[in-house]
Amino acid sequence: MNRFLWKNRHSVEELESEILEEPWRELNWEEKEKNLKYVQEYKPEKDDIKYLRVLLYGPVGSGKSSFINSVSNVIRGRMSIPALASATTSDQSFTKKYETHKFIKGRGSSKTFYPLVFNDIMGLEDGTDRGVHADDIKLALEGHVKEGHKFNPVAPISQDDPGYNPTPSADDKVHVLVCVMSANTPQMKSSILEKMKSIREAASELGIPQMAMMTRIDEACSETQKDLRKVYKSKYLRKKMRDFSSAVGIPLNCIFPVKNYSEEIDLNDDIDMLILSALRNMINFGDDFIEKI
């Protein structure tokens, strides 16, 4: 199919040709409550680890902060805004500092936090003087970046920096590394792919499990926009995930398509189910890693 037509999808015939008869990945859409209970009841078994820590990274505008917001909505069972997210399509990172996002459990005097936390980090940008340095992400993986450290696009953190943590605990270290990218993103620039490769290699050396979230699937595919349950029947999204897998080296079965909450004011079971499917695997990967350290 002509690439131009593939992107614009004007005719009925083109729309029909983009949908597979059978899904290429199975997902039981009726198991939301089962998966939600699994996520809500998870707890690390190691005494020195209070939280399973997930580090999100990816290009600017990929939806990292929005994904954190969406996870909070799903886990807490209501709309919430724990992480500020840019409402624009700016090519500059909205996140500037290293921050741990926790999800509230309960209310009032009984309020605690779920033992699953996310760290958002400044987005990857083209060029050496923009966006987060790959070296900063490598240090964050090992727990060397303190809470609240403000990233410097010009120079990565050094051991003399007040934001450097010289003695990280097992709780400070990252247990799952998650790449977030948008299904709407055109072909990524080679400099960003090189940064991603460097980060992945560092995580591999540390044995940290890796996976990826593909966001904005509703914007990228008109059929999925109408019905999220067609996500694994979309030829376009399958190709996009396969291309991404080849480009960054993350196995296809470790890449999960999701839709972040954006315009919605109420929860949606299909949005929740895609996020929960990803979260369940995220917890499993992270827990396996925790058991080894």
Domains (range + CATH), the chain = 49-292 (3.40.50.300)
CA distance 188 to 221: 19
Res 133: pLDDT = 75
Beta carbons within 10 angstroms of residue 132's beta carbon: 25
In whole angstroms, give the CA distance from residue 58 to residue 60.
7
- Would you give per-residue pLDDT tens digits along the chain (293 residues)? 333 333 444 344 444 458 999 999 999 999 999 999 999 999 999 999 999 999 999 988 899 989 999 999 999 999 987 554 444 444 444 457 888 999 999 888 888 999 999 998 878 877 655 556 778 889 999 999 999 888 887 788 889 999 999 999 999 999 999 999 999 887 788 888 888 899 999 999 999 999 999 999 999 999 999 999 999 999 999 999 999 999 889 999 999 999 999 989 999 999 999 999 999 999 999 999 999 98
Rounded CA separation 94/224 (Å): 27
Cα(79)–Cα(213) distance, integer angstroms: 21
Q: Using CA atoms, how far apart are residues 56 and 115, in angstroms rounded to an integer?
A: 17
The DSSP output letter for 84 is -
What number of CA atoms fall less than 13 Å from residue 266's CA on the CB side?
2
Predicted local confidence at residue 182, as pLDDT = 93
Confidence (pLDDT) at 128? 56
pLDDT of residue 56: 95
DSSP annotation of 48: T
Q: How many CA atoms lie within 13 A of 165 on its CB side?
A: 20
**What pLDDT is attached to residue 195?**
87
pLDDT recorded at residue 88 = 40
Side chain identity at 173, as an amino acid letter?
K
Measured distance CA(48)–CA(197) in Å, rounded:
31
Burial, 30: exposed, middle or buried (Cβ in 10 Å; 0-12, 13-18, 19+)? exposed
pTM: 0.88
pLDDT given at position 94: 46
